[in-house]
A and B are shown apart, each in its own frame.
Chain A
Amino acid sequence: MNLDKEQILQIATLARLQLEEEKIDMYSEQLSTVFDYINMLSQVNTDDVVETTQVTGLQDIVREDIVSDSSEEKRQKLITLFPEKVGDLLKVDAVFENAD
């Protein structure tokens, strides 16, 4: 299997990952190798096999939906983690570009 440079860039865009230009060829080669390897699963006949969705055997785990307060202290700790802020508000760049 061969994932070319263009495909790598497309995957990276979907995954929101900026890649260093000089490493794109390396990723192209490595990912192609990985897919060559994992493609060996196509040898396995799974026509009548049901896929695994969980391994715990647990079913319908429910609990009461109880509202609990978060302390002011915890709130402040979360605000401290903001990469950029204005007062207590999280600052991000505009989502939409300016029409002008």
Chain B
Amino acid sequence: MLSLKTLIKTDFETRTNAEILPRFTLIFIMKKLNELTIKEAYEGLKKGEFTSVDLTKACLERIKKRNKDINAFVSIFESSALAEAKKADEIIASGKQQILTGIPFAVKDAIDTLDLRSTGSAKILDNYVPPFEATVIVKIRAQGAVLVGKNNCDAFGHGASNENSMYGHVANPHDLTKVSGGSSGGSAAAVADNQCIFAIGEDTGGSIRQPASFCGIVGLRPNYGRNSRYGIMAMASSLDTVGPMGKTVEDVAILMEVMAGQDDKDATTIIDKVPKYSKNLNKKNKFVIGLPKEYFSVQGGSVSGGEAEGMNDEVKKIIENKIETIKKNKSLEVEFKEVSLPYTKYGLPVYYIIVPSEDSSNLGRLDGVRYGVRSSEAHDLYNIYAKSRGEGFPEEVKRRIMVGTYSLSSGYYDAYYNKAQKVRTLIIEDFNQAFAQVDLLLTPTSPFTAFGIGEKKENIMAMYLADMFVSPSAVAGLPAISVPCGKDSKNLPVGIQIIGPRLGEEKLLNFASLVEGV
């Protein structure tokens, strides 16, 4: 079965259809190399059906062909990638292949990569080449995975549409007039468009799950502290996570096994043993799944500054149909139960106080003094700071820094940051109560499918509300995944979100693999 799937293009071209047809009646499932999953690529490399150089070239060709339209990459590392692929082929030949050896991947540009340009998609770091690497990337590259390039994102992770990049927006591969989602939009688009086999993104309040949903791929936000954040450009330290984005739940589980674990360089990493996530998939256990009623009844209406879109009827229908399909599947023992998370509507306002506050503090380090781009117009210290930051940050970064500066300023701390941290406690209690009754929660990832480029750019509140289903679980530090769940009438992907209890990734991934299969 697998060799059929991994049958390579060159093989195909050397034979005539007449020769192939009798032997391979399942030709329709034939994939190009860059379309393979991690598991399929691993098997193909192992059997010698193709090399890592073949695989890497296939991805690089796809990037070259599509980047001008989709713009998923800020930097492409063709020569180093091919050198890494050659080295990977030697490792495979020596019999020391690991699961990610020779597999081409991409990394969100807000994650530091050793000796390879990392801009965070902001001009203030246009020339930044880190002399160190994020721990999760070190682990992945230690297996011999091939880094093909850095993905465009909303600058420093600020956004839900990838329109806040200083290197241009990212187009959705399913419809180039639509956004990719954000902030890890380039990573989601690159995986969906087969420009790499997998990607590593970062999720502070939905930045992996929401673009995964818009682009039709699988994206996991791990439990806060499960993966080391060392080398991730810090945005909101009490929420930031780094996680995998892939074509299947299995790929994401494989990546979590490699990425997760305690790290001396990040004191917030959880010390619990890392489970064998990929070994516990497709297990037909009994599940009680909670359906939070607040997530299925979101109304549109006016928010200050314009109209906000509520839950799209078609998205709701698609999710409900999926629930019905799971219910009717006799081989599964899944019980659905309505639950209530009454503080859900406060998730987003809590998020928009905590995140800008922590942002304003973390981004203080970017000042044009020791690294990054210093304004050529500045001739005294104040202006080195103010002009370098003024020229090097896009509008959304400035907005967030200002909201945070105000929230944290003397006299306002109790009214904003402290208040938000108290409401955060209530949101966490909401989830605790729900998880006392159910194993996992199931919701839509986004109330709507990918919206038009420029459509929400002027109405920042409408843009912020795009994260309403993904921010509460982030505020609570919980793991959550987005899994593709069909398409709407405009042929745009819909994502289903599954939220797990604290450190519940194993159960979450198992159920996600069952959802993926029905």
CA distance A36 to B305 in the complex (A): 10
6 inter-chain pairs at a CB distance below 8 angstroms, sorted by A residue, are A18-B387, A18-B390, A19-B390, A51-B422, A54-B268, A81-B129
In the complex, what residues of B have CB within 8 A of residue A74's CB? 131-132
| Chain A residues touching B, range | 35 or more
Which of A37, A44, A94 interacts with B352 by CB under 8 Å? A37
Determine chain A's interface SS by DSSP, over half rule: loop
- Collect the chain B residues with CB atoms within 8 Å of residue A92's CB: 369, 381, 384
Which of A15, A16, A55, A58 interacts with B271 by CB under 8 Å?
Answer: A58
Residues of B within 8 A of A29 (CB): 305
On chain A, the residues within 8 Å of B418 by CB distance are 51
Specify which chain B residues have a CB less than 8 angstroms from the CB of A30 in the assembled complex.
305, 399, 460
Chain A contacts for B350, CB-based, 8 A: 41
A78 contacts B131, C-beta separation under 8 Å: yes
CB distance from B110 to the nearest CB of A (A): 17
Within 8 Å CB of A49, what residues of B? 422-423, 425-426
Q: Is B421 an interface residue (CB 8 A)?
A: yes
Produce 1/0 per residue, A36-69, CB < 8 A to B: 1110111010100111111111100101000000
Given A33-B461, A50-B422, A84-B374, decide whether A58 and B268 contact each other with a Cβ distance below 8 A.
yes
Q: Is A86 in contact with chain B by the CB < 8 A criterion?
A: no
Do A12 and B402 touch across chains, with their CB atoms under 8 A apart? yes
Q: Is B270 an interface residue (CB 8 A)?
A: yes
Nearest CB in chain A to that of B404: its residue: A15
Task: Scan B233-264; emit 1 where CB is below 8 A from any A CB, else 0.
Answer: 00000100000000000000000000000001
Q: Which of B131, B370, B393 contacts A17 (CB 8 A)?
A: B393
Q: Which residues B371-417 have CB closer than 8 A to chain A?
A: 371-374, 378-387, 389-391, 393, 395, 398-399, 401-403, 405-406, 409, 415-416
**A12, A52, A57, A82 — most chain B CB neighbours (10 Å):** A52
Inter-chain contact A17/B303, CB cutoff 8 Å: no
Q: Are A93 and B425 in contact (CB under 8 A)?
A: no
1/0 contact trace for A1-25 toward B, CB 8 Å? 0010000100111111111100100
Residues A83 and B368 in contact in the complex (CB < 8 Å), given A37-B349, A56-B270, A93-B378:
yes
* CB of B336 closer than 8 Å to a CB of A: no
Chain A residues in 8 Å Cβ range of B398: 12, 17, 19, 27
Cβ distance B236 to chain A, nearest Cβ, rounded Å = 12
Residues in A whose Cβ lies below 8 Å from that of B379: 93
What bracket does the count of chain B residues touching chain A fall in?
Answer: 35 or more
Question: A20 — which chain B residues lie within 8 A by C-beta?
Answer: 390
Residues of A within 8 A of B393 (CB): 17
The residue on A at minimum CB distance from B397 is A17
Q: Which residues of B contact A23 (CB under 8 A)?
A: 395
1/0 per residue, CB under 8 A from B, across A86-100: the answer is 000010111101000
The residues of A that contact B424 with a CB separation of less than 8 Å are 51-52
Taking each of B115, B406, B420, B476, which has the highest tally of chain A beta carbons within 10 Å of its own beta carbon?
B406
Contact among B367, B405, B425, B460 with A51 in the assembled complex (CB-CB below 8 Å) = B425
- Return the contact of B346 from the options A16, A40, A90 (Cβ within 8 A): A40
- Contact A53 B421, CB 8 Å, known A27-B399, A83-B373, A93-B378: yes
> Which chain A residues lie closer than 8 Å to B115 at the CB level?
77
Q: How far is the CA of A46 from the CA of B349 in the complex (A)?
A: 15
Cβ-closest chain B residue relative to A97? B380
User: A90–B374 Cα gap in the complex (Å)?
Assistant: 12
Inter-subunit contact A83/B369 (CB<8 Å): yes
Q: Counting CB contacts under 8 A, is B128 at the interface?
A: yes
Q: How far is the CB of A21 from chain B (nearest CB, A)?
A: 11
- B298 beta carbon closer than 8 Å to chain A: no
Choice from A37, A61, A84, A93 contacting B380 with Cβ under 8 Å: A93
Nearest B residue (CB) for A74: B131
Q: Does B79 contact A (CB under 8 A)?
A: no
Q: Report the 7 A-B pairs with minimum CB-CB distance, sorted nearest first.
A: A18-B390, A55-B477, A83-B374, A51-B421, A77-B131, A16-B385, A46-B422
Inter-chain contacts of B464 with A (CB < 8 A): 34, 37
In the assembled complex, the CB of A69 is this many whole angstroms from the nearest CB of chain B, namely: 14
Whether A34 contacts B461 by the Cβ 8 Å rule is yes
Q: Which residues of B contact A63 (CB under 8 A)?
A: 264
Which residues of chain B are within 8 angstroms of A46 by Cβ–Cβ distance? 419, 422-423, 426
A41–B346 CB distance below 8 A = yes
Q: Are B346 and A15 in contact (CB under 8 A)?
A: no
Closest to B266 in A: A61
Q: A18-B391, A37-B461, A97-B380 are in contact. List 19 more A-B contacts (CB 8 A).
A: A12-B402, A17-B389, A18-B387, A20-B390, A27-B398, A27-B402, A31-B403, A34-B352, A34-B461, A37-B464, A41-B350, A41-B353, A41-B423, A55-B238, A61-B267, A63-B264, A74-B131, A81-B370, A92-B381
Which of B270, B380, B382, B422 contacts A58 (CB under 8 A)? B270
Q: Please report the C-alpha to C-alpha distance between residue A55 and residue B380 in the assembled complex, in whole angstroms.
A: 42
> Is B225 among interface residues, defined by CB-CB distance under 8 A?
yes
Question: Would you call B304 an interface residue if the criterion is a C-beta within 8 Å of the partner chain's C-beta atoms?
Answer: yes
